[in-house]
Amino acid sequence: MKKTMLFALSLILAFAAPICAQAQKAAKLVIAGRDGDYGNAMQVAVDAYKVAHPEVTIELLKLSGDDIYQKTVIDLKTGSGSYDLILIDDPKAMQFQKAGWLEDLGPLYKKAGQKVDPDFIASAMDLCRFPNGASGKLYGLPFVGNVSLFAYRQDLFKKYGLGDPRTWTDVLTAAKKISAGEGEAASAVVFRGVKGNPIVTAYLPIFWAFGGEILDKSGKPTLDSPAGMKAISYFLELAKYAPKGTPMNNTAQVRDTLLAGGAAIAPEVWPAWLGAMEDPSKSKVAGLVKVAKHPGEVTKSASMIGIWHIAIPAASRSKQAAFDFLQFVTSKEIQKKMSVEVGLPPSRSSIYDDPEILKLRPWYPAIRDALANGKARPRTLYWAEIENTLGGYLQQALIGEKTGEAALREANQKIAEAIK
């Protein structure tokens, strides 16, 4: 045991040394982090960093999604400098980047004589720049390679002579056939139908695959375009093969249904759910579920990218130490460590090829494929208003209060008014 601990300590020190050469002075870092698995993963990184750098004191705040947004916005607006590193949910990143609240990492890399490691997944890195893309200034690094995924029961697809679904048309064909054959034994489809973020997240990969766009190039909403109308019609047709309680389904209900073997197709699953799904002590379908990027239709697959950025506020009083920790937590070694110990999907491509990781998490290639082919939510300061409005109208269509076409038209009008 003692030898194992010494080996682990020497390993941490070995890979920390090249990264952390800049941060040898005593410093205190305050990290505005998330709760849940993200908080547990960050704690792994913090503990490892403190072993390598006992001279640095770290206070890790584990906040809910709403709290971290509200607290960091207030602090960054006032320039108080309470935080040295913050996590940012991707659709909110533009607000922080555009306002000048974040430190440009370019000069810090230059001072350290370093360049950004090309091992980071390109689609995730592009979102950390502003303007987005390879030529934008870098205002953070991807903390996690999160992305929505598509899942289906291979045993049921085989039972009914169905091939792998490449298009959403294939999915609907499968849903009809499985529903007719399984009856009450298993629902053909299960997804989140609660208004707001849950139903929007379930809907977007379908909407995008049918050629829909939330905003046009001028920033005007286009939810009710001909492509959007086809997407909502399809979405409501697919929903006929979902449980009656779908409008009230949230994460727990969908995940529990999948674990119990109660559904054949899930248009939306997340990496955090997959460990339990492959654990025979928790899942009745371990080894039977295939996870993949979403099907295409008019356009290619469009899985929704859900990364979180880690960034340094411009008002931080410990920028050099913060940059040092930023490189540490996004290093290959620590990204792997967080994946092994907590299951955090990494933001580095090479980890998805790591034999140890693939043995533990055989679904990882699907995550990288979905990230590479994924689509980000629109870069707008009004995403919260768009998501809440669209989510409300989608649920009304799902429960039959409005037709799909009326729901999209009214949602589009309300959003247009809100973002004038």
> Over the stretch 258-317, which tens digit does the pLDDT of each residue have?
999 999 999 999 999 999 999 999 999 999 999 999 999 999 999 999 999 999 999 999
Q: What is the pLDDT of residue 24?
A: 56
Q: What are phi and psi of 88, to 5 degrees?
A: -130, 130
* Helix segments in 363-419, DSSP class H: 364-373, 383-398, 404-418
Q: What is the pLDDT of residue 25?
A: 78
Residue 401 has pLDDT above 50, yes or no: yes
In angstroms, what CA-CA distances link 234 with 58, 101, 238?
Answer: 50, 41, 6
Fold of 149-304+382-418: D-Maltodextrin-Binding Protein; domain 2 (3.40.190)
The amino acid present at 322, given as its one-letter code, is A
> Over the stretch 209-222, which tens digit does the pLDDT of each residue have?
999 999 999 999 99
Mean pLDDT, rounded, for 187-206: 98
**Which residue would you say has higher pLDDT here, 242 or 25?**
242
Whole-number average pLDDT of the chain: 94
Taking residue 99's Cβ as centre, other Cβ atoms within 10 Å add up to 13
Domain 11-146+307-373 has CATH 3.40.50.620: no
In the structure, what pLDDT confidence band is assigned to residue 83 with cuts at 50, 70 and 90?
very high
The CA distance from 195 to 390, in Å, is 8
Domain residue limits, the chain: 11-146+307-373, 149-304+382-418
Q: What is the pLDDT of residue 317?
A: 96
Tokens of 262: 């109660």
Residue 12 has pLDDT above 60, yes or no: no
* DSSP class per residue in 138-174: E--EEEE--B-EEEEEHHHHHHTT-----BHHHHHHH
**Identical topology for domains 11-146+307-373 and 149-304+382-418:** yes
Residue 53 has pLDDT above 70, yes or no: yes
Residue 20 has pLDDT above 60, yes or no: no
The CA distance from 219 to 191, in Å, is 29
The CA distance from 387 to 380, in Å, is 11
Taking residue 95's Cβ as centre, other Cβ atoms within 10 Å add up to 19
E strand segments, 218-375 = 263-269, 289-292, 308-311
Q: What is the pLDDT of residue 256?
A: 97
Residues 112, 114, 116: CA angle, nearest 5 degrees: 130
The CA distance from 280 to 124, in Å, is 32
In the structure, what pLDDT confidence band is assigned to residue 420 with cuts at 50, 70 and 90?
confident
In angstroms, what CA-CA distances link 342 with 37, 345, 378, 412?
Answer: 7, 9, 30, 40
Contact 273, 255 (CB under 8 A): yes
Mean pLDDT, rounded, for 22-45: 90
**Which residue would you say has higher pLDDT here, 372 or 8?**
372
Is pTM, for the whole model, over 0.85?
yes
